[in-house]
């Protein structure tokens, strides 16, 4: 397998507080990797470095063999727009836009004509069990519905890599079996859709039941990452 993203001994501090202390990680093309760790361990910071949102103070981040950390911000922004997709804990939908427009947003930002972008967005509503919600705004959607809209937005442009930061966290914070089931449905849809498109997924979570959907896990503690071999639970060399 070919590594699509690599972090090599990266370090990053926020003021006097170190977040990453020499973390190294490799993500293979087409795999679903779960980054796990306790709150404050640095797992979300690592994800943001891998996605080019944050630039580490030391070390290297590579995407398709090219240094991501030394690219100008304009090139990193273009990568995030053209080749990366994102799903965040609370969806972060644009409240002024309809659900259909939210899904189409990455295409619109890439210069796709509005009619064509909306045409590509609409099939996702049936695919994700959201039929009839195309014209609703975020305030008119349940938590599970909004997160599925966010998932569709992350995948609609067929990104090479999907970065997901606690994608079921907002659902898991609710109570009741229905919300738990919704979280599992979001993960099933994410993994199935990503595999169908050949999209690599880098997923941050603290929940073992969410990480169970991944091919492999990496554990972040005290700003350092340890990769676990697929299905084995042993530390890879």
Alpha carbons 212 and 231: distance in angstroms, whole number = 9
Domain hosting 216: range is 3-228
7 touches 46 (CB < 8 A): yes
Walk along the chain (237 residues) and give the pLDDT tens digit of each residue.
678 999 999 999 999 899 999 999 999 999 999 999 888 889 999 999 999 999 999 999 999 999 999 999 999 999 998 999 999 876 689 999 999 999 999 999 989 999 999 999 999 999 888 899 999 998 898 877 888 899 899 999 999 999 998 887 666 444 444 455 577 777 888 898 889 889 999 999 888 888 999 999 999 988 888 877 554 333 332
Q: Could you tell me if residue 236 is inside a domain?
A: no
Q: Is 237 part of any domain?
A: no
Q: Which of 176, 177, 182, 172 is nearest to 144 (CA)?
A: 182
Q: How confident is the model at residue 171, as a pLDDT?
A: 60
Res 203: pLDDT: 94
The two tokens of residue 181 are 């089931």
How far apart (Å, rounded) are the C-alpha atoms in residues 80 and 19? Answer: 22
| HSE-up of residue 212 (Cα within 13 Å, Cβ side) | 7
235 domain-assigned: no
Distance of CA 70 to the CA centre of its chain: 22
Distance CA 192, CA 194 (A): 6
Look at residue 152 and tell me if it is in a domain.
yes
pLDDT for residue 235: 31
* CATH classification of the domain holding 63: 3.40.50.300
What predicted TM-score, i.e. pTM, was given to this entire model? 0.87
Show the CA angle centred on residue 227, arms to residues 35 and 20, nearest 5°.
Answer: 65
**How much is the pLDDT for 138?**
85
Give the number of domains in the chain. Answer: 1
Q: At what angle do helices 177-197 and 143-155 cross, to 10 degrees?
A: 10
Order across the sheet with 32-36: list the strands: 84-87, 161-165, 200-205, 32-36, 216-221, 224-228
């Amino acid at each position: 397998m070919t590594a699509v993203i690599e972090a090599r001994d990266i370090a990053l501090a926020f003021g006097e507080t170190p977040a990453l202390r020499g973390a190294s990680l490799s993500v293979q093309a087409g795999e679903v990797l779960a980054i796990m760790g306790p709150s404050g361990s640095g797992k979300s910071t690592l994800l943001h470095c891998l996605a080019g949102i944050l630039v580490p103070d030391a070390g290297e981040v590579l995407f398709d063999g090219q240094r991501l950390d030394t690219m100008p911000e304009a090139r990193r922004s273009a990568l995030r727009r053209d080749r990366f997709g994102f799903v965040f804990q609370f969806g972060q939908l644009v409240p002024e836009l309809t659900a259909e427009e939210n899904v189409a947003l990455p295409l619109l930002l890439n210069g796709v004509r509005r009619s064509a972008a909306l045409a590509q967005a609409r099939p996702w509503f049936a695919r994700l069990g959201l039929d009839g919600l195309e014209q609703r705004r975020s305030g008119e959607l349940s938590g599970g519905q909004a997160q599925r809209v966010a998932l569709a937005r992350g995948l609609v442009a067929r990104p090479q890599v999907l970065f997901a930061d606690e994608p079921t966290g907002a659902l898991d914070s609710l109570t009741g079996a229905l919300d738990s089931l919704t979280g599992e449905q979001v993960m099933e849809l994410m993994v199935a859709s990503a595999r169908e498109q050949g999209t690599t997924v880098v997923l941050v979570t603290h929940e073992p039941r969410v990480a169970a959907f991944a091919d492999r896990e990496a554990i972040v503690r005290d700003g350092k990452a340890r990769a676990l071999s697929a299905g084995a639970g042993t530390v890879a060399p």
